[in-house]
């Protein structure tokens, strides 16, 4: 939208503009801050917000309490206890050009002539948090909320590895910073959500916010969040006298601090810093959306002061969004392991944010319907979080006259079965258990390392097995013969025998690996182990009900229903019978290992930490569990043994404090070899 020039507005016209802008901005703000599900790009919001500020600057008598210019962040979630910020958590003012940045620096210099240095920092796109420590111990963590009142999310923040529970000095301090989701975690999370039929997060910032607001801290822990801390509420708490010195002091205290900051003496240095990181932003493992420039002297920050919403001594330079237009040639639908059918736009190739883009996920049919995307549309493309190609909108002026709304597919593109739109899901699903596309993905998952661990059975080989009709489900892997494999491309006698040996070895896996390998919705490795351990064998699981499954500690209603539904299907029972007839183990081995009672590790609680050399952590954990040990991640009074590798940190210190038995890797291997 192109706005009317501010100079051309009289008071009545300005009032009409404000009446249009405020409801729209407040709705977008609610989507962003409270729902963690924005419907527009940040750049679109910024454009409308900037127009509002310009009008309010010219006509201050038109400013109302409900204006987003008078508020910080969003409402407080009533699901959490409220936290009153003794010193408000403010947001930052924004500029969008070098010219606007110069005006800000000129105003700063005019208001405070002693200002001579600026600290430049990366603007991490995450969620603002506060951490309060008493005598060096973390006692409370909260969100910014509306700036005055936030949400108590202490238990969730304690699951984040980069947040120290104990500082390196026993001081009282409130530290503020940003909680974010690394790009790798964001990609993995969205892949998982789409496989489960859930809507993907729009960007890493919203994924981080949604993860922090989970009522179950274990969900937050799985999301692999991280933090960068950059401020304190009260400078009396620290020794540093500059912002750059504060960042170094926070590092010494044990906080994770972004080390890419730079002290600048003049605007040319700032401009160079901006250009440097505008070029590097796509290569960073986290998302940034600009640069923050701060007065470096802390005493001058206090003298310069704040407005009701923003500090006057700092500004955020927002990177311009990189957008391109391209043509949608087709919409393809692919079937995943759990039957979710996902649409992808196939487009004319374009250069965007340092890479060639020719495909963009459309996520689900509701997404297509909401944005009214059609084949032969010219669309605006951007990268969500500088990672995933996303379609922002179509260009109405370039839509063909004979354009028609895209029709939802009714049949699976792989097997032709009817697609269903299950209740409470945004995804379309194929529920045919013999769907070839699903079977391919299921076998790939079944053979993976954390499942049946069939070494040498990768996607290319699975594809050949399907093409030659040698497999039709996971059980058929156990009927493969040497003469079948020797016919595969690039297969000789050695590779055929190796793969057969690996398939045969997998028959001896414990039940939890099989349960995970079956690909039951919502069932991960931990849930699979808990279920296998509780029921001991597959027959007990088949003959139980969802209520009994839910009674297992850490197993919730959703997982229990998924497991019960899966094993209650006739096709699943037939598959289990096929596996049984091929001598695949269907028992939990820890309960059937005669050596358990007599070994050192039985009934002991063990923690593993540090960098290991000869064995993987997962290998040690699996071995310990099979020999009756309880493997946990936290050292406590209940811990019997800590196995340490190189660079062991706080867990080693805690174990020494509690007089826990400590072994290095060699000591463990020597003991392990006795059994």
**CB burial readout 470-502, b (16+ within 10 A) else e:** bbebbbbbbebeeebbeebeebeeeebeebbeb
Between 421 and 161, whose confidence is greater? Answer: 161
Residue for token digits 């699976």?
A: 412
What's the mean pLDDT in 168-177? 94
Q: Is the pLDDT of residue 52 over 80?
A: yes
Does the pLDDT at position 160 exceed 90?
A: yes
Whole-number Cα distances in Å, 112 to 105, 116, 117, 268, 313: 10, 9, 12, 20, 10
Whether the pLDDT of residue 386 is over 50: the answer is yes
| 84-113 mean pLDDT | 90
Q: What is the pLDDT of residue 593?
A: 47
> Is domain 324-413 given the CATH code 2.40.50.140 in the classification?
yes
Does pLDDT of 640 surpass 80? Answer: yes
Split at pLDDT 50, 70, 90, the class of 595 is: very low
- CA–CA separation, 305 and 291 (whole Å): 20
Domain ranges of the chain: 6-70, 82-318, 324-413, 436-590, 605-672
Of 71-80, 204-213, 498-507, 544-553, which range is least confident?
A: 71-80
Note the CATH number of domain 605-672: 3.40.50.10190
For 618-673, give the secondary structure using H, E and C. HHHHHHHHHCCCEEECCCCCCCCEEEECECCCHHHHHHHHCCCEEEEHHHHHHHHC
Q: pLDDT class for 467, splitting at 50, 70, 90?
A: confident
383: pLDDT strictly greater than 80:
no
Position 487 pLDDT exceeds 90? no
* Domain covering 436-590, topology: DNA polymerase; domain 1 (1.10.150)
Q: Per CATH, the architecture of 82-318 is what?
A: 2-Layer Sandwich (3.30)
- Average model confidence (pLDDT) for the chain? 86
**Between 233 and 649, where is the model more confident?**
233
Q: What pLDDT is recorded for position 132?
A: 96
Q: How far apart are CA 385 and CA 177, in angstroms?
A: 19
Q: Which two tokens stand for residue 615?
A: 């064995």
| pLDDT at site 423 | 64
Question: Nearest to residue 85, comparing CAs of 144, 1, 24, 173?
Answer: 144
Q: pLDDT band for position 642 (50/70/90)?
A: very high
Q: Are strands 118-124 and 288-295 parallel, antiparallel or unpaired?
A: antiparallel
- pLDDT more than 90, % of the chain: 36
Read off the pLDDT of each residue in 298-308 and give the average, rounded to a whole number: 89
> In the CATH hierarchy, which top-level class contains the domain 6-70?
mainly alpha
Q: What's the average model confidence in pLDDT over 366-388? A: 83
User: Which residue numbers are catalytic?
Assistant: 123
Least trusted range by pLDDT, from 304-318, 525-539, 583-597: 583-597
| 346-356: average pLDDT | 80
Residue 34 is predicted with a pLDDT of 59
pLDDT above 80: residue 322: no
Compare 592 and 520 and report the one with higher pLDDT: 520
Highest mean pLDDT: which range of 204-208, 262-266, 322-326: 262-266
Residues 299-308, mean pLDDT to the nearest whole number: 88
Average pLDDT over residues 289-312: 90
On the question of a common fold for 82-318 and 324-413, the answer reads no
Work out the angle between the directed axes of helices 42-58 and 11-29 (0-180°, nearest 10): 150
What would the mean pLDDT of 659-665 be, rounded to a whole number? 89
Which pLDDT score is estimated for 37?
A: 63
When mean pLDDT is compared over 122-136, 204-218, 418-432, the highest value belongs to 122-136
């Amino acid at each position: 939208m192109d706005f009317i020039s501010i100079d051309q507005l009289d008071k009545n016209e300005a009032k009409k503009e404000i009446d249009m802008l405020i409801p729209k901005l407040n709705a977008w703000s609610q989507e962003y801050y409270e729902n963690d599900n924005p419907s527009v790009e940040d750049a679109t919001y910024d454009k409308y917000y900037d127009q509002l500020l310009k009008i309010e600057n010219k006509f201050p008598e038109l400013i109302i309490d409900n204006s987003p210019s008078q508020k910080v962040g969003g409402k407080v979630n009533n699901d959490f206890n409220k936290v009153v910020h003794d010193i408000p958590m403010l947001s930052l003012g924004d500029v969008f050009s070098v010219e606007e940045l110069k005006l800000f620096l000129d105003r700063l210099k005019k208001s405070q002539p002693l200002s001579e240095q600026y600290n430049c920092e990366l603007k991490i796109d995450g969620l603002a948090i506060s951490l309060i420590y008493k005598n060096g111990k973390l006692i409370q963590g909260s969100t910014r909320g509306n700036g005055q009142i936030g949400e108590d999310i202490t238990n969730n923040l304690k699951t984040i590895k980069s947040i120290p529970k104990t500082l390196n000095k026993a001081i009282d301090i409130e530290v503020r910073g940003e909680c974010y989701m690394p790009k790798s975690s964001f990609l993995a999370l969205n892949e998982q959500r789409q496989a489960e039929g859930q809507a993907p997060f729009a960007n890493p910032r919203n994924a981080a916010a949604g993860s922090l607001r989970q009522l179950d801290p274990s969900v937050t822990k799985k999301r692999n969040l991280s933090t960068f801390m950059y401020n304190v509420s009260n400078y009396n708490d620290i020794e540093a006298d500059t912002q750059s010195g504060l960042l170094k002091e926070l590092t010494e205290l044990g906080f994770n601090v972004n080390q890419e900051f730079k002290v600048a003496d003049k605007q040319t240095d700032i401009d160079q810093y901006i250009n440097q990181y505008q070029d590097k932003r796509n290569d960073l493992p986290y998302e940034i959306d600009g640069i923050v420039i701060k007065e470096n002297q802390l005493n001058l920050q206090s003298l310069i002061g704040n407005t009701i919403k923003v500090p006057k001594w700092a500004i955020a330079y927002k990177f311009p969004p990189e957008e391109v237009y391209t043509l949608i040639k087709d919409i393809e639908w692919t079937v995943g392991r759990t039957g979710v059918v996902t649409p992808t736009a196939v487009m004319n190739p374009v250069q965007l944010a340092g890479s060639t883009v020719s495909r963009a996920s459309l996520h689900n049919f509701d997404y297509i319907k909401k944005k009214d995307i059609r084949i032969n549309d010219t669309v605006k493309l951007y990268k969500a979080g500088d990672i995933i190609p996303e379609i922002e909108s179509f260009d109405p002026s370039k839509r063909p006259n004979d354009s028609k709304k895209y029709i939802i597919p009714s049949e699976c593109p792989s097997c032709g079965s009817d697609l269903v739109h299950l209740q409470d899901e945004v995804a379309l699903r194929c529920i045919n258990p013999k769907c070839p596309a699903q079977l391919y993905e299921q076998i790939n998952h079944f053979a993976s390392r954390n499942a049946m661990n069939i070494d040498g059975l990768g996607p290319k080989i699975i594809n050949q097995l399907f093409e030659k009709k040698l497999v039709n489900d996971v059980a058929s892997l156990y009927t493969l013969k040497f003469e079948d494999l020797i016919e595969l491309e690039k297969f000789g006698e050695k590779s055929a025998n190796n793969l057969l040996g690996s398939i045969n070895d997998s028959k001896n896996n414990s039940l939890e690996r099989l349960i995970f390998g079956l690909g039951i919705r919502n069932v991960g490795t931990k849930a699979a182990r808990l279920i296998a351990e509780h029921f001991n064998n597959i027959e007990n699981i088949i003959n139980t009900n969802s209520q009994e499954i839910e009674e297992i500690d850490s197993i919730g209603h959703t997982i229990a229903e998924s497991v019960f539904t899966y094993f209650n299907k006739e096709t699943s029972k037939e598959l289990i019978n096929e596996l049984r007839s091929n001598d695949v183990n269907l028992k939990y081995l820890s309960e059937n290992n005669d050596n358990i009672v007599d070994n050192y590790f039985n009934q002991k609680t063990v923690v593993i930490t540090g960098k290991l050399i000869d064995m993987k952590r997962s290998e040690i954990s699996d071995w310990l569990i099979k020999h009756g040990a309880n493997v946990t991640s936290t050292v406590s009074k209940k811990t019997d043994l800590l196995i340490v590798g190189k660079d062991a940190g706080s867990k080693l210190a805690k174990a020494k404090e509690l007089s826990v038995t400590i072994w290095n890797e060699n000591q463990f291997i020597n003991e392990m070899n006795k059994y």
